[in-house]
Amino acid sequence: MWAGRGTVTLQTQIRRLIKTMTTRPSLLFYCQHSLAMGHLVRSLALADSLAERFRVMLLNGGRMPKGLIVPAGVQVINLPPVGIDETNQLVSHDKRISVERALDRRKKMIRTCFDNLRPAVVVLELFPFGRKKFAVELRPLLEAAHSNERRAFIVCSLRDIFGSRTVSQQKYDDRAATLANQFLDLVLVHSDPSFAHFDESFHPGVPLKVPVIHTGFVVPRPTQATGIERSPKRIVVSAGGGIAGERLLRTAIDTLRCFEDDPHIEMKIIAGPFLPEDTWTALRTLARGKPQLRVVRCVGNLCDELRGAAVSISQAGYNTCLDIVRAGVPALLVPFAKGTYDEQQKRAVRLQRLGAAEVLDQENLHPARLAEAIRELMNREMTKLQLDLDGAKRSTQIITSMVTPQSKAIAYHTCYEN
């Protein structure tokens, strides 16, 4: 966290962290999650793999969810948390400081971390293909990392699908391509190209000269199974971080009335760490007196929960969809979509076309329709997709090869994909 008066200085904190790290090459990983926590979960999974070859420091720009496990080999510096509200404006999640003050502190902290760590590699999640509002702190980092004195290998880490833009798509993509050509050494797209290809989301008029590699999807390292037994009538309802999940969760609870004649139906609501506190309290109140219903904030492993379910009902974030694919559970996706936030809709439709899920638009979300979908899914076998889920390991191998002098030239020729 940022250091205030009477606390340990940031420089001291970083030096203490560095002393605990190995002698491996250092890597600075910037991640900013705004509405949900999917970017952070994916970045931590990637950082976990990278820590096998590098000493990894991750700069977390959003709120750190309670209960989220940080991999043992990854050192996290929490910047003053900033996010984006429903009007697409920056907001400070620390009520003690303004957005302007938070951004100023963040910029100084980022530079302090860079100067002390002296990373061989800098990884930026999404920028410059997104996170335009954070350019004020990221351009100085890129300029420092790109300087002859401190030259680092600079990588952009991207998810499978981009959302739409608020301005001209061509203008936005041209700006991103220009910045990428100026600063980046490599773009890693964490997708199976048979599912979603980078070229489908990005159409610049300015030729992109940076190598682009599809790594496969990034999923967390496998953990020991929790032993959750599969139930033929268990419904698991989840909403990612929860910040935009209230309507889905409330509707799911109301849907239980449609199953009052079936005592074997059970439902587990996973609300998410960012669900507003008043909404969380209201959901717990709604759950009282309903023996078929259990409401929790978070679970340790959503994939294991889904393996024990008959049906999954969820939004369509990157990590949730991959948990559904890995679990092989019949799934109903109710993607979050508002304004330019249509990436979940695009992903959900692709999974539906492949037979791995059904999709229900938010506008059609009501108890009777949800109950109908649940009954249908309980009697269906979904297509088991064979997607490439080895993105974390492959990303680590690629970055390692690129920063190793003797293999750098070979890596560019064998891994280039654009």
Q: Interhelix angle for 169-183 vs 135-146, to 10°?
A: 30
- pLDDT tens digits for the chain (418 residues)? 344 443 467 777 777 666 666 678 999 999 999 877 889 999 999 999 999 999 999 999 999 988 888 999 999 999 999 988 777 789 999 999 999 999 999 999 999 999 999 999 999 999 999 999 999 999 999 999 999 888 999 999 999 998 876 668 889 999 999 999 999 999 999 999 999 999 998 999 999 999 999 999 999 988 766 667 778 899 999 999 998 899 999 999 999 999 999 999 999 999 999 999 999 999 999 999 999 999 999 998 999 999 999 999 999 999 999 999 999 999 999 999 877 778 999 999 999 999 999 999 999 999 999 999 999 999 888 889 999 999 999 999 999 999 875 444 333 333 435 5
Q: Three-state DSSP class for 55?
A: strand
- Any residues with CB less than 8 A from the CB of 367 and at least 6 apart, and which? 251, 254, 255, 257, 258
Query: Distance between alpha carbon 68 and the CA centroid of its chain, in Å?
Result: 13
Provide the whole-model pTM: 0.91
Q: How far apart are the first and last CA of the chain?
A: 38
CATH number of 10-219+389-415: 1.10.1060.10, 3.40.50.2000, 3.20.10.10, 3.40.1350.10? Answer: 3.40.50.2000
Sign of CA dihedral 64, 67, 70, 76: positive
Q: Interhelix angle for 135-146 vs 99-117, to 10°?
A: 20
CATH superfamily of 234-377: Glycogen Phosphorylase B; (3.40.50.2000)
| Segments of 49-179 assigned E as strands | 55-60, 74-78, 82-84, 90-92, 121-125, 153-158
Neighbours of 252 (CB within 10 A): 28
Domain spans in the chain, listed from the N-terminal domain onward: 10-219+389-415, 234-377
* Equal fold, 10-219+389-415 vs 234-377: yes
Q: What is the pLDDT of residue 341?
A: 77
